[in-house]
Amino acid sequence: MTEPLRPRAIGTSLARLDGRAKVTGTAIYAFEQPLERATYLHPVQATIARGRVTAVDTATAEALDGVVAVLTHVNAPRLASTDDAELAVLQSDEVAFRGQFVGAVIADTPEVARHAASLMGVSYDEQPYDVQLRADRDDLYAPEVVNPSFPTDTDDGDVDAALESAALTVDQTYSTAMQHNNPMEPHTTVAIWNDDGLTLYDSTQGVHAVRTTVAPVFGLDPERVRVIAPHVGGGFGSKGMPHAHVVLAGLAAQVTSGRPVKLALTRQQMFSLVGYRTPTIQRVRLGADSDGHLAAIAHDVVEQTSKIKEFAEQTAVSTRTMYASPNRRTSHRLAALDVPVPSWMRAPGECPGMFGPEVAMDELAVACGIDPIELRVRNEPATDPESGLPYSSRNLVGCLREGARRFGWDRRDPTPAARRDGGWLVGTGVASSTYPAYRQPGSVANIRSGPDGRFTVRIGAADIGTGTWTTLTQIAADALDVPVEAVDLQIGDSALPMATVAGGSSGISNWGSTIVGVARAFRDKYGPDPADGSETEGETPDNPASERFAMHAFGAQFAEVRVHADTGEIRVPRQLGVFAVGRIINPRTARSQFIGGMTMGLSMALHEHSVMDPSSGHVVNHDFAEYHIATNADVGDIDAVWLDEHDPHLNPMGSKGIGEIGIVGAAAAIANAAYHATGTRVRDLPITADRFLP
């Protein structure tokens, strides 16, 4: 047990400390950094899916007034390392996917750069390519591990025998669509190269992650790379690691004689350059006795990666811990295609990976004639089925029951297609949600006392729009036992002490634990009344409990769906999420994370679908006119609540991460509600009107 913090500021809905700066436009984002003599970069992208660049006509672009430089693979500065093929920008004539950088223009204005880029004539030797994910491909392979380091396959007991002898079985294939991250702020990098090294104003989830990744690419000592990101307009994983545009900006800054280079990707460019959620094809098999007790679970996933760099989404991992079953099997197989590199998108693994199984559980509930909540309760494990460890806290059942009470589940007639309201068929659905309580070592915090009882708390953490400026201040205040007004927090700069990335919903756990540890050491050393200038620095303390417990957050997602009987139009008037995530640091910012995740889940259920054209290797709907994202008009009555969960094993705050769990299970709840409304089972996302038409 880690010694718990006495919550005073923690648990209050402190308004965002950066809120005023944001709404008045004085919070400076990367591209807005005021810099003298800035130049602007516009990339040139490959228009073939695979092959070689045979020639680039740069003369017209170079002759344009205001053009500072034109880069191609022929003249771009050489990188020190090309080990990471995604980051090996303009180092060869090879094209590995459509949209890859093949050139760039640097100019005095963004308009001139863009116009000049459009004048670059690129000739190609085009080669055959393959961009189609199918489960029946003969070249699927098993990766060594799945993201970030889970075993690829697991096999416990005898799944085949258990399925054979089960009273009831479900054997279905589900699919989730390719999706692209679209944070409000596009990916932006401002690069300055001078005698001090490389400075980047970057829209990133981790300043130190960028520094650590980019420094060896340029052959620089990490101390000579500085990354600054005080405000970030969303990331969802796509800014968790630097992508090729960061390197392109750095290369460009080497040829501008010290002038800063500003690069903001356009929406359309983001669809090939900043990662995406792989499409998944999931075969789920469940075997159960007539009372719904699971005897077997098998979850076999096929998904894609790129030929130049592997990313293996951990889609089946949550199945390993979700329900009790003596026989369990999971597997992941990849197709390596001539496509951009997939990457993290809010709850990689859990988000797509809870869709198939949670719809399958609904199908099993129908097959058994058991209420879907009761079915889940009957399969609640006493300990983590995978590790055998006890859970530090597991309140899935509590979430399901509280949600049922709030949602009015007891009034539900289980018969599908039984409720009609005018022309609309009405149904309700439920699904479980889960997300691991990750914690990584490796953050460092520095605390220094100032005059008048003030404290400066320094850590290179990131606020990607989630509220870190506010919540870390609350934690620091409680850790030092001072009011929040006495804390000056500094984050978002690699010149500050090292911090882990804002990813895996682990930011607050990692940075908060570190700050609490350092604050305790500070108080032990200097007492309640430290002299001005007293200072302590230290690393994230170990948490031995993480060896003894399985640590996961849980939740229950509820949805009401209306499907128009004549047109198939689908609406979601109601969504409720109930979560058990330990202690909530700030109810206001937490609720915003939950309903944001649930809205993204609604978006996944009904809209988001990157359409890969097999005849061009191009995501054809690469803008907001064609790639639909849920808006206010799509969201009905949405609410998120949480149980009062006390878990002393997690960290001194008693908190689990909350950035990602809100999306997990939301699409399954909507798909299950759509079945209940119509009697039509949709197993492929997104759920569109045509599925309900005869």
What is the radius of gyration, based on Cα positions, of the chain?
26
Which residue lies nearer to ligand MOS by CB, 30 or 664?
664
Is the Cβ of residue 331 or residue 343 nearer to ligand MOS in the bound state? 343
Amino acid identity for residue 229 in this structure: A
Sheet strand arrangement including 294-306: 154-156, 327-337, 294-306, 280-288, 168-176
Q: Look at strands 444-449 and 327-337 and give their pairing.
A: unpaired
For residues 86 and 81, give the distance between their C-alpha atoms in angstroms, rounded to a whole number.
11
Closest residue by beta carbon to ligand MOS: 237
DSSP state of 453: G
Q: What are phi and psi of 578, to 5 degrees?
A: -120, 125
**Least Cβ distance, residue 626 to ligand MOS (angstroms):** 24
In the complex, least distance from residue 235 CB atom to ligand MOS, rounded to whole angstroms? 6
Pairing of strands 39-45, 261-264: parallel
**First-residue to last-residue Cα distance in the chain:** 58
**62 is an active site residue:** no
Of residues 205 and 540, the one with the C-beta less far from ligand MOS: 205
Q: Please, is 396 exposed, middle or buried when counting C-beta atoms within 10 Å of its C-beta (0-12, 13-18, 19+)?
A: buried
Residue 309 CB, nearest approach to ligand MOS (Å): 17
- Site residues for ligand MOS, 194-213, by CB under 6 A, read 205
**Closest C-alpha among 540, 519, 625, 640 to residue 590:** 640
Query: x/- binding map, residues 605-644, to ligand MOS, per CB under 6 A?
Result: ----------------------------------------
Contact 316, 328 (CB under 8 A): no
**438 near ligand MOS, judged by CB under 6 A:** no
Nearest to ligand MOS of 101, 236 (CB atom): 236
Q: Which of 99, 503, 538, 596 binds ligand MOS (CB under 6 A)?
A: 503
Q: What 3-state class would DSSP assign to 237?
A: coil
Sheet with 455-458, edge to edge strand ranges: 487-490, 455-458, 444-449, 535-539
Please report the DSSP string for 89-124 in residue order. TTSSSEE-STT-EEEEEEESSHHHHHHHHHT-EEEE
Q: Closer CB to ligand MOS, residue 504 or residue 512?
A: 504
Q: Applying CB under 6 A, does 597 fall inside the site for ligand MOS?
A: no
Residue in 602, 592, 617, 532 with CA at minimum distance from that of residue 560: 602
State yes or no: cis peptide before 148, omega within 30 of 0: yes
Q: Considering only residues 311 through 370, tell me which ones interact with ligand MOS, judged by CB under 6 A.
A: 344-346, 348
Which of the stretches 232-240, 306-314, 405-413, 507-515 binds ligand MOS when contact is defined by CB under 6 A?
232-240
Three-class DSSP category at 79? coil
Distance of CA 688 to the CA centre of its chain: 24
Q: Which stretch binds ligand MOS (CB under 6 A): 26-34, 229-237, 285-293, 542-550?
A: 229-237
Diameter of the chain by CA atoms? 77
3-state secondary structure 531-554: CCCCEEEEECCCCCHHHHCECEEE
CB of 51 or CB of 467, closer to ligand MOS: 467
Residue 242 near ligand MOS by CB under 6 A: no
The C-alpha atoms of residue 694 and residue 692 are separated, in whole angstroms, by 7
The CA-based angle 352-355-360, given to 5 degrees, is 150
- How many residues bind ligand MOS (CB under 6 A)? The answer is 12
Query: How far apart are CB 344 and ligand MOS at their closest, in Å?
Result: 4
Q: What x-and-dash track marks residues 646-675 binding ligand MOS by CB under 6 A? A: --------------x---------------
CA-CA distance, 328 to 157, in Å (whole number)?
7
Residue of 185, 350, 402, 660 marked active site: 660
Rounded Cα gap, residues 125 and 118, in angstroms: 20
Q: Go through 251-275 and write b for each residue having 16 or more CB atoms within 10 A of its CB, e for each that does not.
A: bbbbbbeebbbbbbbeeebbbbbbb
Residue 20, Cβ neighbours under 10 Å: how many?
11
What value, to the nearest 5°, has the Cα angle with vertex 279 and ends 278 and 283? 125
Nearest distance from C-beta of residue 311 to ligand MOS, angstroms: 12
Phi, psi of 129, rounded to the nearest 5 degrees: -145, 170
Q: Is 237 in the site for ligand MOS (CB under 6 A)?
A: yes
Residue 501 CB, shortest distance to ligand MOS, in Å, is 7
Residue 504 binds ligand MOS (CB under 6 A):
yes
Q: Which of 240, 465, 492, 657 binds ligand MOS (CB under 6 A)?
A: 240
Distance CA 155, CA 326 (A): 11
Question: By the 8 A CB rule, do 470 and 17 touch?
Answer: yes
Angle in degrees, 0-180, between the axes of helices 666-678 and 587-606, rounded to the nearest 10: 50
Which positions lie near ligand MOS, rule CB under 6 A? 205, 235-237, 240, 344-346, 348, 503-504, 660
Catalytically active residues are: 660
